[in-house]
C-alpha cells in the first residue's frame, strides 16, 4: 500500500514539468487584451474630413458693368444714352411737293382808281406747292381716350418752309352781276411752326395737326379788266406780309429703315391780305388799284419723303 502511494506521487511530480513545458510553447491571450493592445506597426491616424464650405450669399442678378456691350436689335438705333428703338423720340427732315386745288377768298374786294369797288369770288385755278421741314417726333405714349383702351400716340413739332405759286384769275362781281376779272401771278413764301398728333402701331400712321406762321406774298403783272375785256388798270406789282394759319391731315408709312413716305392735305390760309397797286392815273387815264380780304385760303395736296435719325 505504501508502495502504491509512492508511485502515484512520483508520477505526479514528473507530469508537472511536462505540462509547464507545453504551456511555455503557447501563449493564450484574452480577446479583450488583443483589442486594446498597441499595434506593433505604427499607423497614421485617419485624416479628418474637411467641412464643406458654407456661404450666406443668395442668387441675385448681376449689376450692369459700365463697359459691358449693349445688344442692338435691327429695329433700334444706337444713341449716346444707349439703344433706342422706333418708339423713342427722334429728329427728322422731310420734303414734298404737290398742287393747290382750289382757292377761297373771304369778303374780298378790289377797287380801281375812278371806279366803284368790285367783289372778288373764289378762283379754281391750279397752283404749285412745295415745302421742306425739320422736326422732332416725341416718344410714344399710351393715351386713354374717351372710347376704347389705351391708344399709342406720339406728338411732333416741326418747322416748315413752303412756296406757293399760281396764276390768279379772279372773277369780279358788282351786285351779283359779272363785272370783269382780276389777274396776277402770285408767289407766296411762308414759314410755319406745326404741331402734330400721330396714331402709332398701325400699318399706316394717320396724323393731324395745325400750324401758325408768317407769309410774304408777291403779286406781279396785276391788272383788272371789265366784262368786255378792256383794261381798267395799268399792269403793276405789289407785296404783303401777313399771318398764315394751316390745318393738316396726313398718312405716313415706313418704306425702308428710317425712310418714310407721306401724303398730306392742307388748308392753308393767308390772313387779311392787302395789296396796294398805286393810286396814280397814267397818261392813258388808266390808274392803279387796291384790294383786300379777310383771308385767302388754299386747299393743297402734297406727298413726299421723310428721313428720321
**Distance (Å, whole) CA 56 – CA 74:** 42
Please report the pLDDT score of residue 71 as a whole number.
44
Longest dimension (CA), the chain: 205
- Would you say 196 and 222 are in contact if contact means Cβ atoms under 8 Å apart? no
**Residue 200 placed within a domain:** yes
Domain that holds residue 159: 86-308
pLDDT per residue as tens, the chain (309 positions): 555 555 555 555 545 444 444 444 444 444 444 444 444 445 555 555 555 555 455 555 555 544 554 444 444 444 454 455 668 899 999 999 999 998 899 999 999 888 889 999 987 789 999 999 999 999 998 888 777 778 899 999 999 999 999 999 999 998 888 889 999 999 999 999 999 999 998 999 999 999 999 999 999 999 999 888 888 888 889 999 999 999 999 999 999 989 999 999 999 999 999 999 987 665 556 788 999 999 999 999 999 999 999
**Residue 147 placed within a domain:** yes
Residues in the chain: 309
**Residue 20 placed within a domain:** no
Q: What does the DSSP assignment read for 202-227? A: SSSEEEEEEEEEEEEEEEEEEEEEET
**Residue 168 placed within a domain:** yes
Please report the pLDDT score of residue 44 as a whole number.
55
Q: Is 297 exposed, middle or buried (0-12, 13-18, 19+ CB in 10 A)?
A: buried
CATH of the domain at 216: 2.40.160.20
Q: Which residues on adjacent β-strands are paired with residue 256? A: 259
**Strand, coil or helix: what is 8?**
helix
**Strand, coil or helix: what is 267?**
strand
Please report the pLDDT score of residue 295 as a whole number.
94
Q: Are strands 90-106 and 141-144 parallel, antiparallel or unpaired?
A: unpaired
Q: Which of 243, 269, 299, 248 is nearest to 106 (CA)?
A: 269
Q: Which of 249, 117, 127 is nearest to 194 (CA)?
A: 249
**Residue 40 placed within a domain:** no
- Would you say 158 and 132 are in contact if contact means Cβ atoms under 8 Å apart? no
Per-residue model confidence as pLDDT tens digits over 70-117: 444 444 444 454 455 668 899 999 999 999 998 899 999 999 888 889
**Residue 281 placed within a domain:** yes
Q: Which three cell numbers stand for residue 13?
A: 511530480
**Distance (Å, whole) CA 171 – CA 182:** 7
Tally of domains in the chain: 1
Please report the pLDDT score of residue 115 as a whole number.
84
**Residue 50 placed within a domain:** no
**Distance (Å, whole) CA 80 – CA 105:** 51
**Residue 2 placed within a domain:** no
Please report the pLDDT score of residue 29 as a whole number.
44
Q: Which of 295, 157, 170, 175 is nearest to 223 (CA)?
A: 170
Query: Is the pTM value of this prediction over 0.75?
Result: no
Amino acid at each position: 500500500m505504501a508502495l502504491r502511494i509512492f508511485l502515484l506521487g512520483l508520477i505526479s511530480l514528473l507530469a508537472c514539468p511536462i505540462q509547464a513545458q507545453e504551456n511555455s510553447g503557447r501563449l493564450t491571450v484574452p480577446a479583450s487584451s488583443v483589442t486594446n493592445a498597441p499595434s506593433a506597426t505604427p499607423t497614421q491616424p485617419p485624416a479628418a474630413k474637411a467641412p464643406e464650405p458654407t456661404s450666406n450669399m443668395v442668387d441675385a442678378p448681376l449689376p450692369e458693368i459700365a463697359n459691358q456691350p449693349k445688344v442692338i436689335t435691327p429695329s433700334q438705333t444706337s444713341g449716346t444714352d444707349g439703344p433706342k428703338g422706333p418708339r423713342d423720340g427722334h429728329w427728322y427732315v422731310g420734303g414734298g411737293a404737290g398742287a393747290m386745288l382750289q382757292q377761297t377768298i373771304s369778303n374780298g374786294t378790289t377797287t380801281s382808281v375812278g371806279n366803284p369797288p368790285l367783289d372778288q369770288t373764289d378762283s379754281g385755278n391750279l397752283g404749285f406747292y412745295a415745302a421742306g421741314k425739320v422736326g422732332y417726333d416725341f416718344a410714344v405714349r399710351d393715351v386713354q381716350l374717351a372710347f376704347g383702351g389705351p391708344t399709342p400716340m406720339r406728338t411732333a413739332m416741326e418747322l416748315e418752309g413752303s412756296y406757293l405759286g399760281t396764276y390768279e384769275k379772279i372773277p369780279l362781281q358788282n351786285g351779283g352781276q359779272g363785272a370783269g376779272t382780276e389777274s396776277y401771278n402770285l408767289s407766296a413764301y411762308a414759314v410755319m411752326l406745326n404741331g402734330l398728333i400721330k396714331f402709332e402701331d398701325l400699318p399706316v400712321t394717320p396724323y393731324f395737326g395745325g400750324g401758325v406762321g408768317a407769309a410774304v406774298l408777291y403779286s406781279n403783272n396785276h391788272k383788272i379788266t371789265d366784262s368786255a375785256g378792256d383794261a381798267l388798270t395799268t399792269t403793276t406789282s405789289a407785296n404783303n406780309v401777313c399771318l398764315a394759319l394751316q390745318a393738316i391731315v396726313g398718312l405716313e408709312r415706313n418704306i425702308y429703315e428710317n425712310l418714310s413716305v407721306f401724303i398730306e392735305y392742307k388748308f392753308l390760309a393767308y390772313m387779311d391780305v392787302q395789296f396796294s397797286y398805286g393810286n396814280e392815273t397814267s397818261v392813258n387815264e388808266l390808274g392803279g388799284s387796291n384790294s383786300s380780304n379777310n383771308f385767302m385760303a388754299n386747299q393743297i395736296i402734297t406727298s413726299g419723303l421723310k428721313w428720321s435719325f
